[in-house]
């Protein structure tokens, strides 16, 4: 099996992510740093865009194929709030020739029911009075992560949990519309998941969490395109081959795309981006 070729490095990930900052942003992103002085593409998203455990993530591979700098603004477990709260990044995505935005889950953003950390969006900060009233029996003091929060709420009451999910879905669409308005209509949305987008689902093991086809469709007027990439059977056969992680990160690594899947993402995006760049160049 190809999956047996994975190399879990004991005690360390084995990768130097070469963290760097861009412009006025306070956030650290994966390097090596690219110059934003000339034409460039900006990549926004979560752990897959960042390329956690991956020596060459898909923004790097795409850069080799299209010949333009690809600035990787991906961040581990990022939600939409990460970008909307950083004026420096908004400046950079507004100036990009094209923005490629990974579909991020709806759970990692502040909303009427709870707030998240502004930079580490998977961290649950506090419940709002509205959520405490809706779930009076829940003690929120021992909850530190958004998915843990949602699992607990679902176990307590599926009916009341559905009200939280509805809020997250509507907030996600509004927040994404706001983000896309900052890109001046120069964006592609990329869906990275084992299955294509479909009907609404409350499966907490499914990512991007709570995002369905109708939510994506509502964003189409502000986009050049939506590119859907699901790993091929060959990529799935790879398992964690070529990923660098330590023994304590094995479960996390198994839930992320492997290098073969990153190659497929770069190929799909290159096919969508080349015609756009050629059209805008007048060729």
pLDDT at 12 over 70: no
Residue 185: its pLDDT value, please? 72
Residue 207: its pLDDT value, please? 94
Residue 229: strand pairing partners:
192
Which DSSP category does 282 fall into? T
Q: How confident is the model at residue 283 (pLDDT cuts 50, 70, 90)?
A: low
Q: Over the stretch 134-184, which tens digit does the pLDDT of each residue have?
A: 999 999 999 999 999 999 999 999 999 999 999 999 999 999 999 999 997
- CB of 109 closer than 8 Å to CB of 121: yes
Q: Over the stretch 242-279, which tens digit does the pLDDT of each residue have?
A: 999 999 999 999 999 999 999 999 999 999 999 988 87
Residue 250: its pLDDT value, please? 95
Residue 227: strand pairing partners:
190
Q: How confident is the model at residue 11 (pLDDT cuts 50, 70, 90)?
A: very low
Residue 184: its pLDDT value, please? 79
Summarize the confidence of residues 118-130 as an average pLDDT: 97
pLDDT at 280 over 80: no
Residue with tokens 């333009």: 68
Residue 226: strand pairing partners:
189
Summarize the confidence of residues 222-241 as an average pLDDT: 96
Quote the mean pLDDT of the chain: 93
Q: Which percentage of the chain shows pLDDT scores above 90?
A: 88
Summarize the confidence of residues 57-72 as an average pLDDT: 97
Residue 279: its pLDDT value, please? 76
Count other C-beta atoms under 10 Å from residue 102's C-beta: 22
- CB of 273 closer than 8 Å to CB of 188: yes
pLDDT at 62 over 70: yes
Overall pTM > 0.85? yes
**φ, ψ at 50 (rounded to 5°):** -60, -35
Domain ranges of the chain: 2-281
Tokens representing 166 are: 């509805």
Summarize the confidence of residues 231-248 as an average pLDDT: 95
Q: How confident is the model at residue 232 (pLDDT cuts 50, 70, 90)?
A: very high
Summarize the confidence of residues 211-237 as an average pLDDT: 97
Q: Which CATH number fits domain 2-281: 3.50.50.60, 3.40.50.1110, 3.40.50.2000, 3.30.70.100?
A: 3.40.50.1110
Helix%, strand%, coil% for the chain, nearest 5? 40, 15, 45
Query: Could you tell me if residue 168 is left (phi over 0), alpha (psi between -120 and 50 degrees) or otherwise beta?
Result: alpha
Count other C-beta atoms under 10 Å from residue 16's C-beta: 9
Residue 282: its pLDDT value, please? 61
Residue 281: its pLDDT value, please? 65
């Amino acid at each position: 099996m190809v999956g047996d070729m994975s190399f879990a490095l004991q005690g360390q990930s084995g990768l130097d992510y070469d963290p760097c900052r861009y412009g006025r942003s306070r956030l650290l992103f994966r390097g090596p740093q690219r110059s934003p002085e000339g034409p460039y593409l900006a990549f926004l998203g979560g752990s897959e865009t960042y390329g956690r455990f991956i020596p060459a993530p898909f923004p790097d591979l795409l850069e080799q194929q299209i010949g333009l700098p690809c600035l990787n603004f991906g961040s581990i477990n990022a939600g939409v709030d990460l970008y909307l709260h950083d004026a420096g990044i908004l400046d950079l995505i507004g100036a990009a020739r094209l923005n490629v935005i990974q579909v991020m889950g709806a759970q990692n953003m502040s909303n009427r029911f709870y707030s998240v950390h502004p930079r580490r969006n998977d961290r649950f900060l506090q419940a709002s009075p509205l959520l405490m009233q809706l779930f009076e029996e829940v003690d929120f003091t021992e909850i530190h992560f958004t998915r843990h929060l949602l699992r607990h709420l679902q176990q307590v009451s599926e009916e009341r949990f559905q009200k939280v999910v509805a809020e997250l879905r509507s907030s996600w669409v509004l927040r994404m519309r706001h983000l896309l308005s900052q890109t001046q209509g120069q964006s592609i949305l990329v869906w990275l998941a084992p299955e294509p987008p479909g009907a609404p689902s409350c499966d907490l093991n499914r990512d991007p969490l709570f995002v369905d086809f109708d939510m994506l469709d509502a964003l189409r007027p502000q986009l050049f395109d939506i590119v859907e990439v699901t790993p091929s059977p060959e990529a799935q056969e790879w398992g964690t081959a070529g990923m660098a992680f330590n023994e304590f990160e094995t479960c996390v690594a198994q839930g992320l795309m492997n290098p073969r899947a990153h190659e497929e993402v770069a190929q799909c995006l290159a096919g969508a981006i080349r015609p756009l760049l050629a059209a805008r160049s007048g060729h």
